[in-house]
Amino acid sequence: MLDAAVSAAWLVTGPHQLRSNLQRPAAWQARLIECPTAIFLPPVDGGQTYTLALAGAPAGRSVLLDQDGVPASAEPCSPASGLADPGTVALGLLRPAGDGAVRVYAHVDTYHGHLRFLELPGGPVPAGQAVTALLAGIDEHFLKVNNYLCFRVKLQPDVELEHKFTLTGNPDVCVLARQSLAAAGAGELPGWIVEFREEIQQWDFLNHVYAIEEPAEDAGYVSFIPTTDGRYTVKRKIFTADTDERPELRSRGVEVGADLAAHLRDSLGLTPAWHASFRRIRYDVSVESIATGNVFGLAFDRSTIIDEDGRPAAGAPELVQCEIEYIYSQTLGTATYDSVRADLAELRVLVGHFFDRNGIENYQTHESKLTFLRNQHAGAR
């Protein structure tokens, strides 16, 4: 069946009913379409994720395979033409692994003419068993595979893991974000790719920060972030020293009222020591590890302290930073938080090299927004 050269891969398509063992008929056929591996992103072997642009995929040989593994020849076709029928969907991807084996990838997402695949756990399988293994893997992992973007899972969701570069010299954060996006797309962050779908995001929002100093076990801050529906996202971070890893509790859609300090006391049982507000303009670039599927945001932001009227506070400096923050993991296997920590350690070195190449002055002291605001607050007293 899969007797093409070692450089070939096979796109597996078929009726949409094949994606569910509840709807799968007893007799069925799947179509396998030959594809050169060079048209997939990333352009390396052994990745846990691949993306295929339908518009750039040429026509290749095609094979029909039934439920018993019996092949039948079919007309050559391209991936786009093989998916033209409204009832036909992408099922998966088979990539050569040597010695007559293939790696099996489930299709998890389609977006703007691109197909996204994630590797099924278990390693390579004999080519003759590949389609059976693919359907069995879809059945086993249907919650992640067959539900919209549910393959994105954040490990330890109540923990924030990030590394901060404080950028001196007043660089333009928008330009830096665009430059880092181009660098990642050009392979200048080895082992990483720009995340499919996300690429770059723009943010511009307020933070009303209330410092908590007592009792020590509650020390940190609570931030009130106004949202477009008139409510707030309430974010609480608990820490006494600036570090890469801290507990973070987040509640969305909270009705707070006009007195934020009263909400702190009455709803959270906390007494603020002082408060300050800032406006944060931020550009996020999302990158993904080819090996692990862990996704991090490179957030380039400028924080401006504001007065009660929302204007820049007179004489107050601005804080310009790049935060490398863990967002979630995209894998059908078992992701570990140790792999997330290791990826952060690797990425901080690569981003540091990016800054060096571009002459961006910086220091790395884990400086939090709370520390920045505290220093300004203490100086103003």
Asked if 123 and 184 sit in the same domain, the reply is no
> Using an 8 Å Cβ cutoff, are 49 and 117 in contact?
yes
How confident is the model at residue 65, as a pLDDT?
95
Among 152, 199, 190, CA closest to 42:
190
- Which of 126, 145, 164 delimits the end of a domain? 145
How confident is the model at residue 3, as a pLDDT?
55
- Burial of residue 151 (CB within 10 Å: 0-12, 13-18, 19+) is buried
How is residue 306 written in tokens?
């504001």
Question: Is 229 inside any structural domain?
Answer: yes
Question: Is 207 inside any structural domain?
Answer: yes
Asked if 224 and 199 sit in the same domain, the reply is yes
How is residue 97 written in tokens?
């692994």
How far, in Å, CA of 43 to CA of 51, rounded? 10
Reported as a pLDDT band with limits 50, 70 and 90, residue 90 is very high
Check whether 50 has a pLDDT greater than 70: yes
How far, in Å, CA of 319 to CA of 280, rounded? 9
| Model pLDDT for residues 148-184, shown as the tens digit of each residue | 999 999 999 999 999 999 999 999 999 999 999 999 9
Asked if 93 and 196 sit in the same domain, the reply is no
Question: Is 287 inside any structural domain?
Answer: yes
How far, in Å, CA of 140 to CA of 208, rounded? 45
**Mean pLDDT, the chain, as a whole number?**
94
How far, in Å, CA of 97 to CA of 320, rounded? 46
Distances (CA, A) of 163 to 41, 85, 324, 343: 27, 47, 5, 11
> Using an 8 Å Cβ cutoff, are 242 and 366 in contact?
yes
Check whether 312 has a pLDDT greater than 90: yes
How is residue 279 written in tokens?
């406006």
Question: Is 25 inside any structural domain?
Answer: yes
Neighbouring residues of 231: CB distance < 8 A, sequence distance ≥ 6? 253, 254, 255, 256
Question: Is 245 inside any structural domain?
Answer: yes
Average pLDDT (329-333) is 95
Question: Is 1 inside any structural domain?
Answer: no
| Model pLDDT for residues 256-273, shown as the tens digit of each residue | 988 999 999 999 999 999
Helix, strand, coil percentages in the chain from 3-state DSSP, rounded to 5: 25, 45, 35
Asked if 137 and 264 sit in the same domain, the reply is no
Asked if 22 and 55 sit in the same domain, the reply is yes
Check whether 4 has a pLDDT greater than 80: no
DSSP 240-267: SS--SEEEEEEEEEE---S-HHHHIIII
> Using an 8 Å Cβ cutoff, are 207 and 221 in contact?
no
Asked if 173 and 109 sit in the same domain, the reply is no
Please, what is the Cα angle at 103 between 92 and 30, to 5 degrees? 35
No. of helices (H) and no. of strands (E), the chain? 7, 21
How confident is the model at residue 96, as a pLDDT?
95
Asked if 254 and 328 sit in the same domain, the reply is yes
- Which of 145, 179, 212 delimits the end of a domain? 145
Which CATH number characterizes residue 206's domain? 2.40.320
Please, what is the Cα angle at 289 between 162 and 344, to 5 degrees? 25
Asked if 162 and 305 sit in the same domain, the reply is yes
| Model pLDDT for residues 105-121, shown as the tens digit of each residue | 999 999 999 999 999 99
How confident is the model at residue 2, as a pLDDT?
59
Reported as a pLDDT band with limits 50, 70 and 90, residue 7 is low
Q: Distance between alpha carbon 297 and the CA centroid of its chain, in Å? A: 7
How far, in Å, CA of 344 to CA of 346, rounded? 5
φ/ψ of 64, rounded to 5, equals -100, 130
Give percent of the chain with pLDDT exceeding 70: 97
Asked if 165 and 73 sit in the same domain, the reply is no
How confident is the model at residue 8, as a pLDDT?
87
**How many structural domains does the chain have?**
2
φ/ψ of 330, rounded to 5, equals -120, 95
Cβ density class 181-204: b for 16+ within 10 Å, e for less:
bebbeeeebebbbbbbeeebeeee
Question: Is 39 inside any structural domain?
Answer: yes
How far, in Å, CA of 249 to CA of 218, rounded? 12
Check whether 381 has a pLDDT greater than 70: no
How confident is the model at residue 379, as a pLDDT?
43
How confident is the model at residue 1, as a pLDDT?
53
The answer to whether the bond into 42 is cis (omega within 30° of 0) is yes
How confident is the model at residue 257, as a pLDDT?
87
What single-letter DSSP state applies at residue 268?
I
Length of the chain: 381
Check whether 202 has a pLDDT greater than 90: yes
Question: Is 3 inside any structural domain?
Answer: no
φ/ψ of 148, rounded to 5, equals -55, 115
Between 5-19, 39-53, 224-238, the lowest mean confidence (pLDDT) is in 5-19
Asked if 199 and 92 sit in the same domain, the reply is no
How confident is the model at residue 377, as a pLDDT?
72
Which residues span the domain enclosing 187? Answer: 153-380
- Which of 145, 179, 194 delimits the end of a domain? 145
How is residue 366 written in tokens?
């884990």
How far, in Å, CA of 128 to CA of 135, rounded? 13
How is residue 355 written in tokens?
């800054």
Asked if 137 and 217 sit in the same domain, the reply is no
Asked if 72 and 204 sit in the same domain, the reply is no
